[in-house]
Each structure stands twice: as C-alpha cells, then as structure tokens.
Homo-oligomer: A and B are copies of this chain.
Amino acid sequence: MARRPTIKDIARRAGVSESAVSFALNGRPGVSEQTRARIRRVTEELGWQPNSAARALSGERSGAVGLVLARPAHTLGVESFFLQLVSGIQEVLSAERIALLFQVVEDIEAECAVHRRWWAERRVDGVLVVDPRTNDPRPELLAGLGLPAVLIGGYGGEGDGEGGDGGGGEGPSVSRVWADDTRAMTEVLDHLHGLGHRRIVHIAGLPGLAHTARRVAALRAEAERLGLPAGQVRSVPTDYSDTEGAAATRRVLAEPEPPTALVYDNDVMAVAGSAVAAELGIPVPGGLSIVAWDDSALCRVTHPRLTALVRDTAGFGRLAAEELLAVLAGGPPRARESELPRLEPRESTSPPPAAY
C-alpha cells in the first residue's frame, strides 16, 4: 500500500513552500511561470491528487453532490429512466471531478432526513432533486438549509412559488430543469384524436407527483378544447408499478364502453397493459391503441412494438448537472427547458376499430 503524497512532499522536492505549491496547482497568481512548471512536473512525478477531506475542510467545498431517490422498494428497478439520467449527470460531473453521492430511500420523509444529514455533515455542496411533487416540502427545506439544489422535472411555468427569497418576483426561487409535459400530452391526444379515437384513458402515475398533475390537467384541457366529454377522456391514477398498471388496464377494458386508446405514464405499465390486452384477446393496435410515455428497450421488445414518447433522458441529466454547477458557481436560479418529448409512432397505434 503506497503512501499517498501530500503537498508537503511536493514542496520539498520542488524546493518551495507548501503555499507556493497550493498557489501553483490552483492556478492563482503569485508564482512565476518557471516555478509553476517545476511544481507541476514534480506533482506529475509523484502522482499527487488533492486529499478531498483536507480540501473540503479548508475550502468549504466538499466536491460532491447528492441525489436521493425516494421510492418504495417495489416500484424500484424496472425504470430505464433513472440510470439513464444518472449517466447523463455524471458525464458532466466527472469532467469537473465532482463525486455523486447516491441514496435510495423509502419515502420523502426519509429523503428529507438524508438531505439534512448531508447538509449537517457537509457531505455535499448541492443536491439534485427528482420526482417533484405538488406541495413538495423539499424546495423549502433546501432553501432553509441554504443547500444549493436543482429540481429535475419540476416547473411548468407555475411561477416562483415559495416566496421570500428572490424579492423581485422575477424567475423561480430554485433552479429547475423541465420538459414540457403539457405540450407533449396535448400532442399525444391530438395524435390519437386525429386517428379517430374518441374514448381515451390515461393510465397516470403517482398522483402526488407534479408532472402527473400537469399531464392530467393537460389531458383534460385538450379534451375540452376538442369537445370530448370528461367521461370519454380521463386519467386514472396508479403507483407506476406493473401491477397497478395491469389492474387499471383490466378495469377500464371491462367497462361497458371501453376506451379505444390508452396512454401510459411509463414504459413498464405500457408493457404490462399490452400483456393484459393479449390475455383478453384484444388485438393491438386493431382493437386497442397504446402509447407509452418514455421510451426504452421495453417498448421495442414487445410485439407489437409500442408507440412511445421519446426523450433524451441522458441529455436531461446533463442539463440538470450543468445547471447545478451554475448554481454552485453562484449563478441565479433558472428554469431551463429541455427539448420536447417526441412521439415515435410504432405498431401499437392505429385508427380505432371500425365497429366504433
């Protein structure tokens, strides 16, 4: 086990003081180019890397950011969304040598506790917050702690919210990156309506999540605009799991006037739903059209392949990480919109059955 060199070792070898080394390596003025070059050479030779703890202790920066995933264990795992997001986030972070602390917890209370702890322990310089909710306690908590944060998937133009901080009323009080679910949902509905569908059910995700609320609202608004009564076009809530997705599908398909098209809030439920249709002997898309929100391998492995709303999840993660870096650098809170999800038509959508 090799001993790790410190700046003291570098200083000795280069014949200068420790602070000269620190200045040189951090690109600050006060060292001649010549000396700087020599110090850098010695550093290379010794393979020195800054001790993160020492840096954190003096520099007040831990060089790490945190991300908590609050999901009940049974809904974990089958979502492609998450790892893609993380991999995008890390592309940006690791270029800046920032580490990612990751924690999985059961619920949002536990998540808040983790944030408090990280803050108190000075473990992280900032956090990324996923799955924003309606009445989300987290922005307020984080603002209170002064822990820089970026909300991933928040916003819908709903204003600066929690008040106080900003003063002016201009811009959001906490940074966010978001996708325009409202417009995406509108487009999906228009697409299905254009194909001739009039009875459409949206198998929604967890009701408490902000984007679920926005999709539900968008569906209702667009249905109204198209003159479709609420009984024919509506949303039903689930917990995102395959189980509830399948159950909801079974339920609505058993109605006297079943829908001719289903829009699922994630890929897992869409696949589960298409299996239910197969089981019931309902042909897809002949007897039922299916759209999945979020694309993944899943949508491509079913038969027929599922029409899906594709988005660049890794890109979304990159955007979020960039935004967090901007906040850490002292930038003002912003809301940045990612590109609009794109509807990728595959074999699971077609005009409704003629009988209708």
Residue A78 contacts which of B87, B145, B297 (CB distance < 8 angstroms)?
Answer: B297
Distance (whole angstroms) from the CB of A54 to the closest CB of chain B:
6
What is the CA–CA distance of A53 and B105 in the complex, to the nearest angstrom? 24
Question: Which of A8-16, A30-38, A94-102 binds B?
Answer: A94-102
B246 touches A272 (CB 8 A): no
User: Is A186 among interface residues, defined by CB-CB distance under 8 A?
Assistant: no
User: Is A4 among interface residues, defined by CB-CB distance under 8 A?
Assistant: yes
Q: Which of A56, A77, A97, A243 is most buried by chain B, counting CB atoms within 10 A of its CB?
A: A77
Cβ–Cβ < 8 Å partners of A301 in chain B: 242, 245-246, 268, 271-272, 275
Residue A278 contacts which of B78, B105, B246, B303 (CB distance < 8 angstroms)?
Answer: B303
User: Is A22 among interface residues, defined by CB-CB distance under 8 A?
Assistant: no
Band of interface residues on A = 35 or more
Residue A242 contacts which of B49, B242, B300 (CB distance < 8 angstroms)?
Answer: B300
B51 touches A122 (CB 8 A): yes
B100 touches A99 (CB 8 A): no
A230-247 interface bits toward B, Cβ cutoff 8 Å, 1 = contact, 0 = none: 000000000001110110
The closest CB in chain B to the CB of A268 belongs to B297
Cβ–Cβ < 8 Å partners of A57 in chain B: 51, 53-54, 57
A51 touches B83 (CB 8 A): no
Contact residues of A between 87 and 139, Cβ < 8 Å to B: 87, 90, 94, 97, 99-105, 114, 117-123
A interface residues (Cβ-Cβ under 8 A, vs B): 1-2, 4, 47-57, 62, 64, 69, 73, 76-84, 86-87, 90, 94, 97, 99-105, 114, 117-123, 144-146, 241-243, 245-246, 268, 271-272, 275-276, 278-279, 296-298, 300-303, 314
Please, could you name 16 A-B residue pairs with CB atoms under 8 Å apart, sorted by A?
A2-B145, A2-B146, A4-B122, A48-B120, A49-B120, A51-B121, A53-B53, A69-B83, A76-B80, A77-B84, A83-B104, A86-B102, A243-B297, A246-B301, A272-B297, A272-B300
